[in-house]
Structure 1
Amino acid sequence: MKNQILKELYKAKDEYISGGRLSLKLGVSRNAIWKNIASLKKEGHIIESARNRGYRLLSSELEFSQTDLQVSISTKKIGKKIICFDEIDSTNNYAKKIACREEHGTVIIAERQTAGRGRRGREWVSPRNEGLWMSIILKPAIPSSEASKITQIAALSICNAIRELCKCEALIKWPNDIVINGKKVCGILTEMTGELGEISFIIVGIGINIKTREFTEDLSAIATSLLIESKTEVSRKELFLRIMEKFEKYYESFIENVSLESIVPELRKYSALVGKEIIVVRGNKEIYAIAKDITSEGELSIETSEGEKIILNSGEVSIRRKNGYV
């Protein structure tokens, strides 16, 4: 009910909308409208009430509230249900616990993670109110061998959203990082559960440093934030909405064709690695190579210092530039 009322207030913009009109529109009593308006005010939405005129939404102190996000989102399935936490150990952990009973496209967001993690179990620092820490539950009807490609879909969605909103030269460090000026601003962790080649669900975990002003000494050489790079405050809400819209568009195309063909040109265009000298880490072994291309399957094509040509799958390696992180 609150979401429906808030949506009507948003649509009215700066105009008043009467309790009677809301009551008629939503098929509930005026008293129910009044109670829900009071609840929205407690959540931080600034709603003006005027006798004989009705209600008008002025602003919201909680631009990242569950209600606000669900009212604002325009996607069909991705993000239509949003679950928000003030604090949680890990959005990916929680997503995996509820995935079987939740609908496809459900998004879990936390203001702070106490045990955020990246690939290979690495810690992901997730301070309160400083970033976008979230996970998306997906239930695609595709072979499990195709699951890793969804990381590329997420990477391009985030890269393009950042480039549009922040005017920063964001690039994709294959397979799962977004970098700006050689430093990591976003990490993606894709996890799959299934059996006998069939997928039960996929969790796409996303962590984006947005408002962080400084990092610890051990991270400052490799990490950055949108605030540091753009020199301006970035709306978490607007970034979230743009990522969801782009992700749904790319994801639907991928599911329909079981192919990344439509986005591979952009994956190549925004690659932070293609044409660069890199070090590929496989277990305890390091391979010195040049990144040659992103294949039509979203894999990384490399040529080693011995001249051997290898196609890398995202799940098997860790990569860094020969001189520095990227």
Structure 2
Amino acid sequence: MTTPGADAVASSRRPLTEASLSSLLPGTLSRLMVVPSSPSTNTRLLSLAAGDPEGWPHLSALVADHQTAGRGRAGREWVTPRGAALTVSFVLRPTHVAREDYGWAPLVVGLATVRALRGLGVGAWLKWPNDVVVEAGAREIPGWGRWRKAVGILCETVPGQEAIVAGIGINVSQSTGELPVPHAASLASLGATGLDRVALMRALAGELRGAVALWDAGAHPRAEVEKVTATLGWDVAVDVPGAAPVAGRAVALTEAGALVVRTVSGDERVVMAGDVRVRRG
């Protein structure tokens, strides 16, 4: 595994600016705001979009060069060193996707993220329902096997609107010592040769635009999402809210994006939400 040099890390951590990302306008994004820091890009963009819907149209984006209080699913915190990650939230306003199908949002966003990373040479996969992982660990970690989390995704609806704020946090240049938990990884710790956050943002925005356009045009995302979902085929235990864990083999996604787990008795359990733990490497 190649370890990026100090110069590559320093270059990656140069501040992101609207000027450096200007090529995304007007073709890929409809609006772009870049701020030096923000507690949570999702929290901030939810407030901005709620207060000014017309000012934040479909495929608007808020990028924070440094996110100081990032949020994950179930209220988890996500914190990175300054300039070490790409932290961005997008406004999605699909006009032909019913609100009851918004549960697909993190999976569609995850699909776009996987494609962007693969295009840059990273062997990324989707871990249901909202993480992007790479199989790269030298040792197995309970609940994760040899998989390492490089990306977190958080999708939230804008109150009173047919709109979604999709937050994506990609670990880019952190060293192993800068990562918060043993199962985390960064592009640098995975040996990626390119740590350019500008190139990563361009790739991500382009893939997201394409994936959401197909979803909005009526193409059901299940088949494409299943192709990149590493969870399928794993022996898992899924911690579900307010109930006993569901253990078995993850075998498919439903039409609604739920995970189907086949238990040892042969029964198929449908899990709408939960934390997946790997039961094998």
Provide the residue aligned with 1:155 in structure 2.
Answer: 110
1:73 pairs, out of 10, 13, 24, with: 24
Provide the residue aligned with 1:111 in structure 2.
Answer: 65
- Can you give the 5+ residue segments of structure 1 that lack an aligned partner in the other structure? 1-60
Shift, 1:271, TM fit: 1.6
User: Where is the helix percentage greater, Structure 1 or Structure 2?
Assistant: 1
Q: Judge conservation of contact 2:81–2:178 (CA < 8 Å) in 1.
A: no
Determine which structure has more spread, i.e. the larger CA radius of gyration.
1
Change (3 A) 1:310 1:160: same
1:202-281 mapped onto 2 (5 Å cutoff): 202-215=164-177, 219=181, 221-257=182-218, 259-260=220-221, 264-281=222-239
Provide the residue aligned with 1:290 in structure 2.
Answer: 249
Separation of aligned partners in 1, 2:276 and 2:14: 39
The question of 1:317 aligning with 2:274 is answered yes
Provide the residue aligned with 2:153 in structure 1.
Answer: 188
Provide the residue aligned with 1:29 in structure 2.
Answer: none
Separation of aligned partners in 1, 2:45 and 2:65: 15
Q: Judge conservation of contact 1:186–1:207 (CA < 8 Å) in 2.
A: yes
Change (3 A) 1:194 1:306: farther
AA of the residue aligned to 1:96: L
Change (3 A) 1:243 1:175: same
Q: Judge conservation of contact 1:75–1:248 (CA < 8 Å) in 2.
A: no
SS of the residue 2:16 aligns to: coil
For residues 183-219 of structure 1, what are the alpha-carbon distances to aligned partners after superposition, in whole Å with 9 as ceiling and x for unaligned?
A: 0000100001345xxx432110100001111245860
SS of the residue 1:127 aligns to: coil
Change (3 A) 1:249 1:308: same
Shift, 1:104, TM fit: 2.0
For residues 231-287 of structure 1, what are the alpha-carbon distances to aligned partners after superposition, in whole Å with 9 as ceiling and x for unaligned?
A: 424211111111111111111111111632xxx333222221111100111125212
TM-score normalised to structure 1 length: 0.72
Shift, 1:99, TM fit: 0.6
Provide the residue aligned with 2:32 in structure 1.
Answer: 82
AA of the residue aligned to 2:248: A
SS of the residue 2:163 aligns to: strand
Q: Judge conservation of contact 1:75–1:245 (CA < 8 Å) in 2.
A: no
Separation of aligned partners in 2, 1:83 and 1:232: 28
Change (3 A) 1:279 1:153: same
Shift, 1:79, TM fit: 2.5
Kindly indicate whether structure 1 or structure 2 has the higher relative contact order, using CA contacts under 8 Å at least 6 residues apart. 2
Taking only aligned residues, the RMSD between alpha carbons, in angstroms, comes to 2.2
Shift, 1:115, TM fit: 1.1
Give me the identity figure in percent. Answer: 27
For residues 158-192 of structure 1, what are the alpha-carbon distances to aligned partners after superposition, in whole Å with 9 as ceiling and x for unaligned?
A: 11111111x22211101110001200000100001
Separation of aligned partners in 1, 2:188 and 2:178: 16
Paired residues, number: 252
For residues 122-147 of structure 1, what are the alpha-carbon distances to aligned partners after superposition, in whole Å with 9 as ceiling and x for unaligned?
A: 01113211110010012223322111
